[in-house]
Amino acid sequence: MGLPKGSKKLINAWAFYDWANSVYSLVISSAIFPIYFAALFADNNRIDFFGYSVKNTAMISFVTATAFVFVAFMSPLLSGIADYIGNKKRFMKLFVYLGSLSCVGLYWFDLNTIYLGFFFYFLALIGLWSSLVFYNSYLPDIAYPEQQSRASARGFSMGYIGSVLLLLVNLAMVMNPKMFGIAGEGGEASMQAMKYSFVMVGVWWAAFSQIPFHYLPKGTHNRKVSKDILWNGFKELRQVWHQLQGLANLKRFLPAFFLYSTALQTVMLIAAYFGEEEITWASSDEKTMGLIVSILLIQLVAIAGAQLTAKTAEKIGDIQTLIIINVIWASLCVYAYFVTTPIQFYIAAGSVGMVMGGMQALSRATYSKMLPETEDTTSFFSFYDVTEKIGIIIGMSLFGIIDQITGSMRNSILFFLVLFIAGGLLLTQVPAYKNRLKTR
């Protein structure tokens, strides 16, 4: 007998997946891997990719965008199958293990195995973001509408806390590798410590995922997969698209979400690379410490930011709160364009932390509340996730192109500024809505 919907234990078990997977977002996407990646190309920031000379930061942007092309295509395919057989937990497990094992594979990311390294980086991204399709779709299954804002914020907060704990250990390893028995001369030991950090991320992710795997419901159907239902996910996306025409809230909300999420997700994926390349650091040691401190600052401030956003939304409304956050993000883009010193970068990092997690959590909860009465939540969240992924594809691709052509990541910030302003303006057109309540 499973836990009842709305129970604190079930919601906490669901939120614990944020604790499990957020170490990837922090250690791999934001902190340790960008530093490791930059150190690999300290002497030469060009990559010979099948005869083309590509800037290293542009290359990581293109690989990321390509991974999201696969995710955007596979998500509806797999969610359709999961809905049909009623066991999305099985698919969530598949991608969790793919992602966690690929993080372990990043141990072999170096200049001599650059293609293999990018392949593992590619698979890890697919594992993370595909697992989130199924994780997000559980929210309306485990919590009532009036609980969803806080449940979503709780997940992000748990993710920040768990990921910071592991990052602190990784930071100690990188800064004092000998204390952990990691041998090597000069920077070699620190580089080795970073590689061990990738392995620890994979183990952490897989191990703590066992908690939500144990408590989350399996499903209600028991059907076998046939070739006729392989494309069910795309059919369901088309059905969702048609349903949107009669759902004024969602029809207005999704374009706004698409624009500001494109900017938000791209900023999160490239922030550390920006700090590494565009900020004037006194030394390589100061750079390493400064980047990790700034990422820690973002995570710690984001814990309070996510909770503050949820409380603000309860008082003035979800849409109004999202509009305010878009205005803050636009202001941060203007500020970030002129950032050059470490102290300015720290100020930007703290400000980003205050609005980063809150925007993600509130967007997820707002969308969940707007859904019509349906048990087919996976299809609607697949549509939500595909919208998000297409935005990331466009954002990372344009970022890489601007970086490759101009030789500076700073110019891309103006592109983000426009997206946040446009997203905020579109949100003002979303009609007022009442929460979709169910009888307990």
Helix (H, G, I), strand (E, B) or coil at 109: coil
Is 55 a member of any domain? yes
Q: Taking residues 113-121, report their average pLDDT.
A: 93
> 373-388: buried (b, 16+ CB within 10 Å) or exposed (e) per residue?
eeebbbbbbbbbbbbb
Total tally of structural domains belonging to the chain? 1
Is 433 a member of any domain? no
Residue 435: pLDDT above 50? no
Is 360 a member of any domain? yes
Residue 206 binned pLDDT confidence (cut-offs 50, 70, 90): very high
**Mind listing the pLDDT tens digit for each residue in 306-315?**
888 888 988 9
Say if residues 423 and 290 touch (Cβ distance below 8 Å). no
CATH number assigned to the domain comprising residue 272: 1.20.1250.20
User: What is the DSSP annotation of 154-222?
Assistant: HHHHHHHHHHHHHHHHHHHHHH-GGGGT---STHHHHHHHHHHHHHHHHHHHHHHTHHHHHHS---S--
**Mind listing the pLDDT tens digit for each residue in 400-432?**
888 888 877 888 888 889 999 999 999 999 886
Q: Taking residues 73-78, report their average pLDDT.
A: 77
**Mind listing the pLDDT tens digit for each residue in 130-171?**
898 788 878 878 888 778 878 887 887 888 789 889 988 998
Q: Which residue has the tokens 């204390």?
A: 179
Is 285 a member of any domain? yes
Structure confidence at residue 440 (pLDDT): 36
Please tell me the distance from the alpha carbon of residue 297 to that of residue 158, in angstroms, as a whole number: 16
Is 329 a member of any domain? yes
Position with higher pLDDT, 277 vs 213? 213
Residue 19 binned pLDDT confidence (cut-offs 50, 70, 90): very high
Least confident piece of the model among 26-30, 225-229, 259-263, 327-331: 225-229
How far from the centroid of its chain's Cα atoms is residue 304's Cα?
18
Is 432 a member of any domain? no
Question: What share of the chain has pLDDT > 90, as a percent?
Answer: 29
Is 330 a member of any domain? yes
Strand partners of residue 48 = 53
**Mind listing the pLDDT tens digit for each residue in 350-378?**
898 888 878 888 888 888 888 887 666 66
Provide the residue range defining the domain that includes 180. Answer: 8-220+228-427
Please give the single-letter amino acid code of residue 27: V
Is 3 a member of any domain? no
**Mind listing the pLDDT tens digit for each residue in 166-187?**
988 998 898 889 888 988 876 7
The set of long-range contacts for 387-390, using a CB threshold of 8 Å and a minimum separation of 24, is: 387/254, 387/257, 387/258, 387/261, 388/257, 388/258, 388/261, 388/265, 389/68, 389/71, 389/72, 389/75, 389/129, 390/68, 390/72, 390/258
Q: Taking residues 376-397, report their average pLDDT.
A: 82
